[in-house]
Structure 1
């Protein structure tokens, strides 16, 4: 029996490539912001971009392997879907879960995201982008 994954949308390999390219761009921006030390480029911004990179990479992985991606209001539903995306699905799902744990704080700024959390977010996003890259290029 397939685990409950919430609302989904059909997608294809071409759309997987688009989402992967977006994920790479978000990750690159997160890394650049993480290197700058000023009041506009801070840990919250780097973490927020890393979260966007992870979500886009999860979409790419799912589109490439499952032909559908999560479209529910609750991003956590995507965790159960990405678990099914290839042999590394559980690793990708854990990385996405870690990113979603800090999403609200990073995106809405009500909770400070520290340097260690931002670095961890970048690492999780990298795991997702690299994993999705392998799946999309199979």
Structure 2
């Protein structure tokens, strides 16, 4: 079943694998940033986790639906992703959680807590793992 929400871009398995590589790199780097002694690193870590979530969503949607969300509103990706059987419901929930942190992580004027940053990385890692299963089999 194809669910369309907002502006989309056609893509396929090749693009899915590329976005999956991006997702894994963002998630792994987000985890590394957690282990520094700098408070700003928590925001960097959460920001990278958000990017990992978006890239994971793109990978799954490209592989399964043949298109990915391309609108200015990242929430459109949550709706599109929710239409993917098997992994969509859980992944869309985690993407929504990550997007809730996006503005504060990327543009905020205060530091995120270590707890919030660790949650973001956990959600991103879950998304990447699910995307790897969906894209690579």
Same fold (TM over 0.5): yes
Give CA-to-partner distance per residue, 1:80-113, whole Å, 9 cap, x none.
1011123121000000000000000001123431
Runs of 4+ in 1 over 2 A off after TM superposition: 1-4, 109-112
| Unpaired stretches in structure 1, ≥5 consecutive residues | none
Deviation at 1:4, TM superposition (A): 5.0
Q: 1:137 to 1:2 in 2, by over 3 A?
A: closer
Structure 2: distance between partners of 1:26 and 1:94: 19
Q: Is the 8 A contact 2:81 2:92 kept in 1?
A: yes
RMSD, matched Cα: 1.5
Deviation at 1:52, TM superposition (A): 0.5
Structure 1: distance between partners of 2:3 and 2:63: 19
Give CA-to-partner distance per residue, 1:35-56, whole Å, 9 cap, x none.
111255x211110010001100
SS in 1 for 2:68: strand
What TM-score, normalized by structure 1, do the two folds share?
A: 0.93
What TM-score, normalized by structure 2, do the two folds share?
A: 0.94
Structure 1: distance between partners of 2:67 and 2:112: 32
Counterpart position of 2:83: 84
Structure 1: distance between partners of 2:14 and 2:81: 18
Q: Is the 8 A contact 2:2 2:65 kept in 1?
A: no
| Unpaired stretches in structure 2, ≥5 consecutive residues | none
Counterpart position of 1:127: 126
Structure 1: distance between partners of 2:61 and 2:3: 14
Q: Is the 8 A contact 2:39 2:111 kept in 1?
A: no
- Please list, as runs of the form range in 1=range in 2, the aligned pairs for 1:1-138 lying within 5 A after superposition: 5-38=5-38, 42-138=41-137
Counting matched residue pairs gives: 137
